[in-house]
Structure 1
Amino acid sequence: MVTAQTIDKNPGELKDVPGWFPPLDQLLFTWFLERQETGGFRGSLVELGAYMGKSAILLGQHRQDGEEFTVCDLFGGEAPDGANQAETAKSYSSLTRQAFERNYLAFHDALPTVLEAPTSVIPKEVAPDSCRFVHIDASHLYEHVHDDIGAARDLLLPGGIVVLDDFRSEHTPGVSVATWEAVLNRGLHPICLSTQKLYGTWDDPEPVQEELLAMLRDRTDIGLSVQDAAGHRLVRTRAQKGMQPPSFPHSRYYMAPEAPKAPTPTPAPTPAPTRAPAARRPRSRARRIGVDLLPPIVTRAIRRALAPGA
């Protein structure tokens, strides 16, 4: 296990942590969690599948006093079956628990409860009816996602929120099947959809959905559409170009960029001194009169005699 003192090359901001957690989902996580906290809703937080810790870091920011936060991931360890092992080797070969802990400790003083194990252990480690928010982003295989959804239903308190990642990605059909099966046959009610995630509840979705719609309609950086399908109201959201994530505290290793220094003014060149013309010595009055009265031939002779060097 690593500690904050042994960390190097740490992320300075949440955007520096590797992972797939776009600004829209950062906003939606924050909105759902803050809504719970403002309403006095308390309960544990759970994340199944953590990768390098990007979403876990945000979840940890919303852990209230007395609440538990549990993260479960293989972290490159032994998978429960061959298919899961192949998936892990292909997509998460660089994932290690040390990397997750290093990133998390850059933003928080203490780690959550970390389970380095398959997500099938979560019902034994977290009490039923104890959670307010569960994020599922572990295996993409149908059997595992099916069981993770069942575990989330048992863990959540009334009014709790479950978030399912990759529910409509091209490379994760198993997640799509398990997600819509839960909606159609297992009582899960969608609250909203982002590009990557489905946010849902096993309770009446209308109160939270109405509050969410009011917030979304006031924003110009989120596209919104509402559809009905199989008796469910589907609130679809998408980020508009240039959308920024909500503000988030910097890590303890953040280095603010230096303000650009004002250029040093170049001193104006000192002009070269100019030599004043030599003053002509004025001729005496007697000399001027003598020169004017004498015959020219005498005047020229006198000038030659008086010339310098003569």
Structure 2
Amino acid sequence: MKREFAVYKNFGFRTVHGWLDRDVLAISEVLDRVQRDKGVSGSVAEIGVHRGKLFIGLSLLRREGESAVAIDIFDDQELNIDHSGLGNLKRFKANVERWASLDGVKIHQGDSTKVQTETLRELAGSDIRFFSVDGGHTEEIVLSDMRLAESVLADGGVVIADDVFNEHWPGVSVAIVRYLDEGGKLVPFLVGFNKMFLAHPDYVADYRAAVESAFEGSLLDLVWESAGFAGHPVTIIAHRHAIQVVTGVLKRSKAVRAAYTQLTGRTPS
């Protein structure tokens, strides 16, 4: 689906309602190439698909035999306790059908925190190599979704966490710090365009290098810096006007740690 992905990345995603920077798709494409080179296989999944803006892109990166799993409350908006996103099953299906295909797409409508590992693996038909976490934005929901993603992630898989540095959703930052502090097996390696990318430690150096190489000199308004998050080195890639905002949050990580302590009564290690 290489041609279809290019069409969607360069044009189609703009027609789908939602919040996504085109460069998230470009980064996903780079990581997909690394996964292919390393023999990483598995399906793709997203919690919180909204109208399908990122889900379609991930679905178009699938190889033969791989599934794409969509988890969302969709029209059951009484479950949307923090009002993050507004799913619509009919529009989601129409968008997927227009820009990709519903073949191999598995839809689970319901509360992601009630999804069991076995249920998700059965839906996917395999482990998952790309998993977007963009559902509810409270601390407990994000923490639950991260643990679910970890439990089904293929060796070398990538989790894409949304809104980690969005000031409107502080619970997301705290949840990620808690996940890392409480024994999470995945570590962050890249922050950019309102997303944080995490993977197993053995893969992060190659993933960081591949993204930096792919973006080097590509656009004048893109820059990157190295920083740390909860003790892990990360590459920050962003539009020049936004880089100071993200690096400022990372360099003042004491604020995130303080929020964690205040909300949990514990000090992250």
Shorter-chain TM band: 0.7 to 0.9
Map of 1:136 onto structure 2:
133
Q: Structure 1 residues 215, 103: CA separation in 2 closer, same or farther (over 3 Å shift)?
A: same
Displaced runs of 4 or more, over 6 A: none
Question: Secondary structure of the equivalent of 1:170?
Answer: coil
| Distance (Å, rounded) in 2 between the aligned partners of 1:56 and 1:122 | 21
Deviations 1:185-242 (A, max 9, x none): 424311100131100113322222222222233433421101245532121010258x
Map of 1:169 onto structure 2:
166
Task: Tell me if 1:145 matches 2:149.
Answer: no
- State the Cα distance separating 1:165 from its structure 2 match: 0.3
Question: Secondary structure of the equivalent of 1:21?
Answer: coil
Stretch moving more, 184-193 or 59-68: 184-193
- State the Cα distance separating 1:103 from its structure 2 match: 0.9
Q: What is the TM-score when the length of structure 1 is the normalising length?
A: 0.66
Match of 2:154 among 142, 146, 157: 157
In 2, are the aligned partners of 1:24 and 1:238 still within 8 Å (CA)?
no
RMSD over equivalenced CA pairs, Å: 2.2
Q: What is the TM-score when the length of structure 2 is the normalising length?
A: 0.76
Map of 2:30 onto structure 1:
31
In 1, are the aligned partners of 2:177 and 2:230 still within 8 Å (CA)?
no
Question: Secondary structure of the equivalent of 2:201?
Answer: coil
Match of 2:95 among 88, 96, 103: 103
- State the Cα distance separating 1:17 from its structure 2 match: 0.7
Q: Which has the higher contact order (CA 8 A, sep 6+)?
A: 1
Structure 2: which 5+ runs fail to align? Answer: 1-10, 242-269
- State the Cα distance separating 1:126 from its structure 2 match: 2.0
Map of 1:116 onto structure 2:
109
Deviations 1:266-303 (A, max 9, x none): xxxxxxxxxxxxxxxxxxxxxxxxxxxxxxxxxxxxxx
- State the Cα distance separating 1:78 from its structure 2 match: 5.8
In 2, are the aligned partners of 1:44 and 1:69 still within 8 Å (CA)?
yes
Structure 1: which 5+ runs fail to align? Answer: 1-11, 242-310
- State the Cα distance separating 1:28 from its structure 2 match: 1.2
In 2, are the aligned partners of 1:167 and 1:176 still within 8 Å (CA)?
yes
- State the Cα distance separating 1:173 from its structure 2 match: 0.9
Deviations 1:53-83 (A, max 9, x none): 111111111111111211000002165xxxx
In 1, are the aligned partners of 2:163 and 2:194 still within 8 Å (CA)?
yes
Map of 1:192 onto structure 2:
190
Flag the structure with larger Rg: 1
Q: Structure 1 residues 230, 97: CA separation in 2 closer, same or farther (over 3 Å shift)?
A: closer
Task: Tell me if 1:41 matches 2:40.
Answer: yes
Deviations 1:36-63 (A, max 9, x none): 2344321011111100111111111111
**Which structure has greater helix proportion?**
2
| Distance (Å, rounded) in 2 between the aligned partners of 1:170 and 1:228 | 19
Map of 2:19 onto structure 1:
20
Q: Percent identity?
A: 22
- State the Cα distance separating 1:122 from its structure 2 match: 5.0
In 1, are the aligned partners of 2:40 and 2:154 still within 8 Å (CA)?
no
The 5-angstrom pairing of residues 127-276 of structure 1 reads 127=121, 130-185=127-182, 186-204=184-202, 205-221=204-220, 222-240=222-240
In 1, are the aligned partners of 2:189 and 2:232 still within 8 Å (CA)?
no
Question: Secondary structure of the equivalent of 2:82?
Answer: helix
